Amino acid sequence: MVDLVKARAKAKQRRAAPLPSEGRPDAAAPDKLERFKEEAGKRRERATATAAPAADADRVELIVFRIDGEQYAIEVERVMEIATPRPLTRVPNADPFVRGVMSLRGIVVTLVDVRARLRHDPHRRGEQVIVITDQGGPLGFDVDRVLRPVKIGRDAIEPHPVVHASEERPSIRGVFRQQNALTILLDLEKLLA
């Protein structure tokens, strides 16, 4: 049979007894814990530093969208926002490529006609606007629908197939296949120039 009085007394003694590292200024336990924390952080940093740049250098993050049934993609790093279309204000004497300006939470965004540049129907208005950062300020262009962001390997991008010289466009960087669809990767600098 267990003597409860003795068990309680032993438990009180254990709670009252100082830990081996308590009371001594040269306690090893806190130093050991600090060393462990420092070393664990360094190991994590080393693992991230070696794995991430190698993997990220070979991959590119893109946003895929549709215009008139065709899939296009641009690099995500240039995308500022995806918005719904707002009322446009025409700009007098503007380049025909500029459709107008719209206000997006107090920021004036110039809407450009990417559809005409890609030889689609310029009179049609899309359901979403992709707003990108540009040196002259934010630019936007309307698309039928933004599909999803994707990460692909740089080696998955193939050169743009050209059948006839009239089909060659400098605004197309290449094409890639994903989910049984061919997606055209656009070069924004050349497309918006």
Q: What is the pLDDT of residues 134-163, one digit of tens each?
A: 887 899 999 999 998 999 998 888 887 766
Mean pLDDT of the chain: 80
Over residues 63-75, mean pLDDT: 92
- Cα separation, 2 vs 106, whole angstroms: 78
Residue 102 has pLDDT above 90, yes or no: yes
Give Cβ neighbours of residue 72 (< 8 Å, ≥ 6 apart). 64, 65, 66, 118, 143, 183, 184, 185, 186
Over residues 171-191, mean pLDDT: 86
Residue 41: the pLDDT is: 65
- The residue with tokens 């946003």 is 63
Residue 2: the pLDDT is: 62
Residue 52: the pLDDT is: 52
Picking from 45-59, 117-131, 144-158, which range would have the lowest pLDDT averaged per residue? Answer: 45-59
Residue 171 and residue 60 in contact, taking contact as beta carbons nearer than 8 Å? no
Give Cβ neighbours of residue 68 (< 8 Å, ≥ 6 apart). 115, 120, 121, 124, 144
Q: What is the pLDDT of residues 12-26, one digit of tens each?
A: 777 766 555 545 555
- Cα separation, 120 vs 17, whole angstroms: 82
Residue 71: the pLDDT is: 92
